[in-house]
Chains A and B, each alone.
Chain A
């Protein structure tokens, strides 16, 4: 099956800093999503982005499908951005949605 690798595994920032999270995948995909898992465990949809670029406030994402990676940008980080960020993909040959291991983000005041 498809392999999904996220980097870095852990990231500690001061409030106000910017960051870039990366998701690499090993095969062509139909579907790519970014999720934020908050400290209460809830999974929140950030972006559905199988290709191209999207922005939502301080967050934006870019997927370069031909090169098999996606980037999540967080600008002017806030303490409420803390949590785990997951990338999930569905390969073109199947219906499974496969998750990476996540990036644990801690934003300190």
Chain B
């Protein structure tokens, strides 16, 4: 099992550009999450999904979109990149119920 895989690992975007951060898990987990982590801070929830076709907003959803067409994939879309979106993005997954979450390696995004 590869676990939770995020791509790319690093990316530099110009203001106004768009991109999709990819997240794939091979553990057949129902729940998937996207977080952002600003320097010296904790992780803030952007969006989450409890299964294919079901997504919901977290604490900081503005400027982002998600979709969950399959159990394995949970891409995060940035439509109009802004400097405030410079951050490290983490994807996580876990099974329904009493189960631990597993995290990907993160994507470091810089918007200039």
Contacts and interface: CB of A to CB of B under 8 A. Distances in A.
Contacts of A66: none
A73 to B, nearest CB: 19
Given A43-B90, A86-B42, A95-B31, A33 B98 contact: no
A31 B108 CA distance: 28
Given A95-B31, A95-B50, A97-B92, A45 B42 contact: no
Nearest to B100: A48
Given A41-B88, A43-B90, A96-B58, A31 B99 contact: yes
B48 A95 contact: yes
Contact residues on A (Cβ < 8 Å of other chain), bracket: 20 to 34
A101 interface: yes
A98 B45 contact: yes
A7 B98 CA distance: 25
13 contacts: A33-B100, A41-B88, A41-B108, A42-B105, A43-B106, A45-B101, A50-B98, A88-B43, A88-B101, A98-B45, A99-B35, A99-B44, A102-B42
Interface of B: 31, 33, 35, 41-45, 48, 50, 56, 58-59, 88, 90, 92, 94, 97-103, 105-106, 108
